[in-house]
A and B are shown apart, each in its own frame.
Chain A
């Protein structure tokens, strides 16, 4: 079994890798939209992607500042110091997201068939699934 320090170091490394991948993805999106002759979309993707990345860094920094004894399950998950109950809650929450995805996609397909804008529907589905994840996580935390 790894020590908390080892777990934290691994978590830091994983976070940095994820951060790097996120920045690369944002850069690729900016490049693709720029080459496609859509500079406004490229700028929007760049600003939005960097904002989300900065938010992730701030959230993790705040979770680390509170220390390993932080009572928040979400904070422990971000720090890589989640215990078995935290993992069980996260697993159950993601299961709800999976179920909700079926419903959301079906509704999204119907909306597009009825004339709704595809990119708007995709954005709405993503926002819906994030809301399901947050709601399920809170509900599971209180029940478990």
Chain B
């Protein structure tokens, strides 16, 4: 599943480690999310959307 986490993170001027700490996950998880290697659980997806003050649909895009 593609997502805009990297773009949103860079726009916010955050490192992967800082975002990971904010979301209470590991830096590796943030890296895997950004590279599309790992799809988050629903609670984590909501946490990401809440952190960036947007909706899940604005961040995550189902592969065509």
Contacts and interface: CB of A to CB of B under 8 A. Distances in A.
Interface of A: 1, 4, 69, 71, 73, 76, 83-86, 88, 141, 143-144
B52 interface: no
Contacts of B21: 69
Interface string B15-42: 0010001001111110010000110110
Given A143-B37, A144-B38, A84 B32 contact: no
A76 B26 contact: yes
Given A85-B29, A85-B38, 9 more contacts: A1-B24, A69-B17, A83-B26, A83-B29, A85-B26, A85-B28, A86-B29, A141-B28, A144-B32
A85 B40 CA distance: 8
A73 B17 contact: no
B27 A85 contact: no
B44 interface: yes
A73 B21 CA distance: 15
Contacts of A141: 28
B37 A84 contact: no
Contacts of A88: 38
Instruction: Return the 5 tightest CB-CB contacts between A and B, nearest first.
Output: A83-B25, A85-B29, A144-B38, A83-B26, A84-B41
Nearest to B23: A83
Given A84-B40, A85-B38, A144-B38, A71 B32 contact: no
Contacts of B27: 69, 71
Given A69-B17, A84-B44, A85-B32, A144 B26 contact: no
Contacts of A86: 26, 29
B37 A144 contact: yes
Nearest to A81: B26
